[in-house]
Each structure stands twice: as structure tokens, then as C-alpha cells.
């Protein structure tokens, strides 16, 4: 057996090649599962105990030498400038088959659509940080420290600093705009928000919002209603109707929830709208005078309205998607359905 090891060692040292295919063939022949070195290892098990120490050392030297030789030849072939054979990628489409092209995510499609509608109404896009402080997320929006409304939103706080948190709504952007801009103000605030909620088909700890704000002299609730009606008809179709139901938000007074007529059943009632003919899409209201005052705007002179909607919710209604989790799983079978969407 010692003679066999010496013969194989001589073959390893003498082997020369610059072709990737030949080097790989040599590696498999020597070190593969059915290779020469593997066969010698099997023979080694039956060797006499008194020679195992010497043979074992020699076999390890042979194995290491074979691996080093393969690596040396691969490195030389790769850096030599000599044409090296390449292994064909069998996962690529065949010749004549169109390469798969990407598309925008459905959330991006709907967000861009929402922003485009409001930009045509004279709104500008505003942005702000996702990691915020308590003042911009709660205090400036009329959430007192002991206010029970703080329990409405389960918040992610940064460890060891209760004043730093992940924003729970993009209303914090509105606060930053009002602090730094003189009225008239007309902005739209798209962004990602975070809430500590259990993930299910209808809820997620990460989602996207688009909020709007209009502050000027003489702004009324009628302006708010007409703005939202125009948006609903641009988004869901010219026959869409809206209705407003009383609600409560700390930063608006009066406040309301906005429903649109179900675009799947035409308002007749179906499982999606639970037989009511209406679907809830957003919250809205007149900006509370306390919020204007906190942001340095005179509430005796100016008034305004605000509204906010979940992009995932609008996308579910627009595309008929029944499970919120699909937007975050990056399943290409789902995403390819939006290749032609605009």
C-alpha cells in the first residue's frame, strides 16, 4: 500500500493543466467520493496496526498535496489570461427565451398613485425620520403624558431611552413641517411606520401610510370632504361614493372615518365589504387648535384639515388581495402578477 501511495503522489506532483474542465476532472478523480485517495482510505482501514501510524501520515500528506495542487492550478488558470472553460449555468433561460424583468412592488405602485393624485391637487411631498422622539409622535399631537389615547398605538421604544421610538404614524412629519413652514401649508407625507402588533392576514408590525395636511385661512370641513371625494374617485373610479362617520383622534376635532362604496360589488353588498356596501379606507378631521398652537401657528387666524390612510389597505382594495402578509414575503409568484400594473 505504501508503494501505491508513492505512485499516486508522483501523479499528483506531475499533473499540469490550464483548462478548468481538466483541473476539475483531476480533482474528482483524486478526491471525489469514488476517487483514488478515497479508495486508499478504505484500504487503510484493513492495514496492520503496526503500520497504520506511518500509512496514516503518508495518506494525509497525499490528500493535502492533492488539494494544494488543485488550488494552485485553479489560481494559475484564473489569472493567466488563458481561455478557461466555464461551466454552463443550467438555471439560465435557454436561447430565445426572454429574460425575466422586474417590476415595482404593489405597495410602491399604490403609494405612487396616491401621491400623484394629491400632487395634481397642489400638494407637495414631505419626508421625515423613522426614528423619532416622543414630542413629534405624541406630545405635539395633543397626546398628554397620561392620555389614554397613547394606549391606542403599541409603540416600539428604543432600549434604555423612552424618549426615542419608531414612529407609529407619519403625523410626526406634519409636526415637523408646521414647525418650520409658514402657512399656507399643503403637504402629503408618505412613509413606513411601526407598531407592536401581532402579524396576521389583516395586521403587521410594519406598514406604510400616506397622510395629508392643509393649513390656511378659512379652511373648512367642506374643503376636507370635497378633497377626499375627489381622491376616492381618482383612485377607485368616477362612480365611487364616500361617507364620513364620527370618530376620535387626539390631534383632530371633529374627527371622522372615511368609507368608500365597495368597488367589487358596486355597493350592493359582498363578503369583502361584509354585506354593507362600504369599505373603510382612512381617518380624517380638522386639525385641533392645540396642535396648531404647539407648532407655532396661530389657531385664531388659521385652520386646517388632516387625513391619513394605510397604503396596504388601499392596495388590498385596488388589487383584491386578501392577505396583508403577501406584501412582505417577496414571493415572486405573487409579485409577478403586478408586472403590467401601473
State the cell numbers at 203.
395586521
Question: According to the model, what pLDDT value does residue 85 have?
Answer: 45
Distance in angstroms (rounded) separating the CA atoms of residues 14 and 194: 64
Statement to judge: residues 133 and 10 lie in one domain = no
- Domain tally for the chain? 2
Statement to judge: residues 151 and 233 lie in one domain = yes
Q: Which residues contact 101 (CB under 8 A, 6 or more apart)?
A: 339
Question: According to the model, what pLDDT value does residue 150 have?
Answer: 61
DSSP 203: B
State the cell numbers at 340.
403590467
Statement to judge: residues 142 and 218 lie in one domain = yes
Does residue 329 belong to any structural domain of this protein? yes
Statement to judge: residues 172 and 281 lie in one domain = yes
Distance in angstroms (rounded) separating the CA atoms of residues 41 and 39: 5
Question: According to the model, what pLDDT value does residue 101 have?
Answer: 66
Statement to judge: residues 65 and 137 lie in one domain = no
Statement to judge: residues 325 and 189 lie in one domain = yes
Does residue 202 belong to any structural domain of this protein? yes
Q: What is the side-by-side strand order in the sheet with 206-216?
A: 124-125, 185-194, 206-216, 303-310, 278-287, 252-261, 242-249
Distance in angstroms (rounded) separating the CA atoms of residues 193 and 188: 15
Question: According to the model, what pLDDT value does residue 94 have?
Answer: 59
**44-92 per-position pLDDT tens digit:** 777 777 777 787 788 788 888 888 888 888 887 764 433 434 456 656 6
DSSP 199: -
Distance in angstroms (rounded) separating the CA atoms of residues 324 and 312: 7
326 half-sphere exposure, CB direction, 13 A CA radius: 19
Question: According to the model, what pLDDT value does residue 151 have?
Answer: 59
Distance in angstroms (rounded) separating the CA atoms of residues 304 and 185: 9
State the cell numbers at 97.
427565451
Find the CATH number of the domain harbouring 270.
3.30.930.10
Residue 292's Cα: distance from chain center in Å? 34
Its pTM stands at: 0.66
Query: Largest Cα–Cα distance in the chain?
Result: 103
Question: According to the model, what pLDDT value does residue 321 have?
Answer: 80
Q: Is 114 exposed, middle or buried (0-12, 13-18, 19+ CB in 10 A)?
A: buried
Statement to judge: residues 180 and 269 lie in one domain = yes
Question: According to the model, what pLDDT value does residue 84 have?
Answer: 39
DSSP labels, 291-305: HHHHTT--TTT-EEE
CA angle 272, 199, 250 (to 5 degrees): 80
Distance in angstroms (rounded) separating the CA atoms of residues 125 and 115: 8
Q: Find, among 231, 229, 216, 225, the residue nearest to 118 by Cα.
A: 231
Where among 61, 79, 97 does a domain terminate?
79
Low-confidence ranges of the chain (pLDDT < 50): 79-86
8 Å CB contact between 65 and 101: no
Statement to judge: residues 242 and 307 lie in one domain = yes
Return phi, psi of residue 164, to 5°: -115, 130
Mean pLDDT across the chain: 84
Residue 184's domain comprises: 106-338
Amino acid at each position: 500500500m505504501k508503494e501505491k501511495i508513492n505512485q499516486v503522489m508522483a501523479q499528483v506532483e506531475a499533473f499540469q493543466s490550464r483548462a478548468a474542465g481538466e483541473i476539475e476532472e483531476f480533482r474528482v478523480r483524486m478526491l471525489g467520493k469514488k476517487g483514488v485517495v478515497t479508495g486508499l482510505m478504505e484500504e487503510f482501514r484493513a492495514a496492520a496496526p503496526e503500520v497504520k501510524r506511518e500509512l496514516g501520515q503518508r495518506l494525509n500528506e497525499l490528500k493535502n498535496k492533492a488539494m494544494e495542487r488543485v488550488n494552485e492550478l485553479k489560481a494559475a488558470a484564473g489569472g493567466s489570461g488563458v481561455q478557461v472553460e466555464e461551466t454552463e449555468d443550467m438555471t439560465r433561460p435557454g436561447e430565445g427565451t426572454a429574460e425575466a424583468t422586474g417590476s415595482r412592488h404593489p405597495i410602491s405602485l399604490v403609494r405612487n398613485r396616491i401621491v400623484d393624485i394629491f400632487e395634481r391637487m397642489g400638494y407637495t411631498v414631505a419626508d421625515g425620520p423613522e426614528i423619532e422622539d416622543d414630542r413629534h409622535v405624541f406630545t405635539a399631537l395633543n397626546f398628554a403624558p397620561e392620555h389614554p389615547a397613547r394606549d391606542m398605538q403599541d409603540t416600539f421604544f428604543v432600549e434604555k431611552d423612552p424618549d426615542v421610538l419608531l414612529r407609529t404614524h407619519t403625523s410626526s412629519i406634519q409636526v415637523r413641517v408646521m414647525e418650520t413652514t409658514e402657512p399656507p401649508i399643503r403637504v402629503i407625507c408618505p412613509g413606513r411606520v411601526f407598531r407592536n402588533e401581532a402579524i396576521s392576514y389583516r395586521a403587521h408590525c410594519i406598514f406604510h401610510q400616506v397622510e395629508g395636511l392643509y393649513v390656511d385661512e378659512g379652511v373648512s370641513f367642506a374643503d376636507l370632504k370635497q378633497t377626499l371625494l375627489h381622491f376616492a374617485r381618482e383612485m377607485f373610479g368616477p362612480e365611487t361614493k364616500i361617507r364620513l362617520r364620527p370618530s376620535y383622534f387626539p390631534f383632530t376635532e371633529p374627527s371622522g372615518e372615511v368609507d368608500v362604496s365597495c368597488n367589487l360589488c358596486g355597493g350592493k353588498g359582498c363578503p369583502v365589504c361584509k354585506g354593507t356596501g362600504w369599505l373603510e379606507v382612512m381617518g380624517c378631521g380638522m386639525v385641533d387648535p392645540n396642535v396648531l398652537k404647539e407648532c407655532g401657528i396661530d389657531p385664531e387666524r388659521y385652520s386646517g384639515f388632516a387625513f391619513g390612510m394605510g397604503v396596504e389597505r388601499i392596495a388590498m382594495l385596488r388589487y383584491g388581495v386578501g392577505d396583508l402578509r403577501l406584501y412582505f414575503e417577496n414571493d415572486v409568484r405573487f409579485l409577478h402578477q403586478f408586472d403590467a400594473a401601473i
